[in-house]
Structure 1
Amino acid sequence: MENKMNQPIFNSGVHAFQGPHHTVEVPTSTLTMGVRTLPVKDHILWTIFNFVYGHFCCLVFLALIFSVKSGDRKVLRDIYGAENYSSTSKTLNIAATFSSSLVFVIILFAAGVISVRPR
């Protein structure tokens, strides 16, 4: 059984439009885009927040350096380098945020704002 999609519409041999039939080639253009990847986060806002509010040791300064390097690699379209620097920046930001939060809680305990004594 033949597929009906492959059969011509007019079987009688008479065309709907009489006269010479011309085929016109239409010029086409092809636009090739690069491989689409997920955008790499450089964590610059998180780093600036830690730099302003929780500057603990030199972790935030190092995170700032790696965030800027990640942004530079994104501009150069070096995805692998940007992801590497971004990952390092994220790890340093996590460590800095945790350390700053821990120091803040210890200061609250030392000041007597938070107490562990039962009432």
Structure 2
Amino acid sequence: MNHTVQTFFTPTNTHHPLNYEMLKEEQEVAVLGETSMPDHVVWSLFNTLFMNSCCLGFIAFAYSMKSRDKKMVGDLTGAQAYTSTTNCLNIWALILGIIMTILLIIIPILILQAYQ
């Protein structure tokens, strides 16, 4: 049996055929480049556990899971849309959570000072 490999595409600057390792590395780089889009799961989980005002943290967590699912399937456009929604929901959950925490500290202090 003859085990020679014939390639149709060769680099332009050399006359050596591409080997399997070079093609595999290029494919790995392409796959890693496509999946580098963040899905904000950790941030959504933090907002769900600690800053869950108006259930925005839980909704953001659900959207981040949908984004991760779309990314695993290969639908990068759908994953980007869910990631954008997740990012917006996380920002609002964090802002509202910080405001509510500050109000929960300030209002009892003001009530206690009013009775003294």
Bin the TM-score by the shorter chain. Answer: 0.5 to 0.7
Distance 1:107 1:39, change over 3 A: same
Shift of 1:73: 1.0
Q: Partner residue of 1:95? A: 92
Q: Is the contact between residue 35 and residue 71 of structure 2 (CA under 8 Å) also seen in structure 1?
A: no
Q: Name the one with the larger helix percent.
A: 2
Q: Partner residue of 2:51? A: 54
Shift of 1:26: 7.3
Partner Cα separation in structure 1 for residue 80 and residue 57 of structure 2: 18
Shift of 1:85: 0.3
**Pairwise mapping of residues 1-119 of structure 1 onto structure 2 (< 5 A)?**
27=6, 28=17, 29=19, 31=23, 33=27, 34=30, 36-37=33-34, 39-112=36-109
1:70-114: per-residue Cα shift (whole Å, max 9, x none)?
10011112111111100100000000000010000111111218x
Partner Cα separation in structure 2 for residue 90 and residue 66 of structure 1: 9
Q: Partner residue of 1:22? A: none
Instruction: Number of aligned residue pairs: give it.
Output: 89
Identity of aligned residues (%): 31
Amino acid corresponding to residue 104 of structure 2 in structure 1: I
| Gaps in structure 1 of 5+ consecutive residues | 1-24, 114-119
Partner Cα separation in structure 2 for residue 93 and residue 26 of structure 1: 52
Partner Cα separation in structure 2 for residue 82 and residue 110 of structure 1: 41
Q: Rg bigger for which structure?
A: 1
TM-score, normalised by the number of residues in structure 2: 0.66
Once superposed, which parts of structure 1, at least 4 consecutive aligned residues long, lie more than 4 Å away? Answer: 25-30
| Gaps in structure 2 of 5+ consecutive residues | 7-16, 111-116
Greater relative CO (CA pairs within 8 A, separation 6+): 1
TM-score, normalised by the number of residues in structure 1: 0.65
Shift of 1:39: 1.1
Distance 1:84 1:26, change over 3 A: closer
Partner Cα separation in structure 1 for residue 51 and residue 91 of structure 2: 11
